[in-house]
Amino acid sequence: MERDPEALSREIGNRVRLLRARLGWPLTRLATESGVSRTMLQAIEQGSANPSIGVLLKLSNALGAGMPELLEPEPPSVSAEVTRAGDGTVLWQGPHGGSGVIVARADPPDVMVLWEWTLEPGERHASDPHIVGTRELLQVQAGTLWLEHDGAEYRLDAGDSLMFHGDAPHAYGNRGERATRFLLTVIEPTPTRKALA
C-alpha cells in the first residue's frame, strides 16, 4: 500500500525541522544554503507542501543528510529490512501514470537508494545534480529508456545497463509507444553534517 502523501509531507517537514534544529540554523540560513525559498521551507516544515525530488536533493545536500533520512524514520537496528510490493515511497508521479518509487535503502555510512521507475510514453523526469561523487546504476527491465547526461544521450533497451555520475545534470525519458520500466540505484558519498557558522 502506498504511503499517504499528506502523512509523508508531515514526516518530511518534521525531519527537515529536526535536522535544521540540530545545526542551530534559522530558516533564513537553510534557505541560503539550499537555494530553497524561505516561504517554501516554512510550508515544508509545516507539512503543507509536497516537495519535489529536486527540492529534497537541495535540502539533503544543505543539511548534510542522505535523502532517505528526510523520507523515512530511523530504521531499527536489524540485519535485514523487507519492503513488500506496493509499500515503497512514491516520490514522483508522471502526467500519464508513471512513477518513481523508493523500494530499498541503506543509510550512512553507505547511502544507497534503490528506485523502481515506470515512465509511460512521452514522460520525462529531469534531475538536478546530486552531491559531488554520486554514482547512479540502472538497468532497463522493459521498454526503451533515453538517458540524457551532461550533454550526451544514451538509448537503453530492455536488459541494458548504465553507470553514470549523478553529480551532473541528467534526465530519464520514454520516447516510445509503451511503458518503460527500470531499476535505479543511487549511491551517494557519506554525507557530512554542516558545521555551525
What digits encode the pLDDT tens for the residues 147-179? 999 889 999 999 999 999 998 999 999 999 999
Calpha distance 100→119 (Å, rounded)? 8
Give how far Cα 181 sits from Cα of 49, 100, 129, 169, Å: 28, 10, 22, 21
Q: What are phi and psi of 32, to 5 degrees?
A: -65, -45
What percent of the chain lies above the pLDDT cut of 90?
Answer: 35
Q: Residue 80 gets which letter from DSSP?
A: -
Is the overall model pTM greater than 0.75, yes or no?
no
What digits encode the pLDDT tens for the residues 36-45? 888 888 888 8
Let me know the angle formed at the C-alpha of 3 by 115 and 1, rounded to the nearest 5 degrees: 85
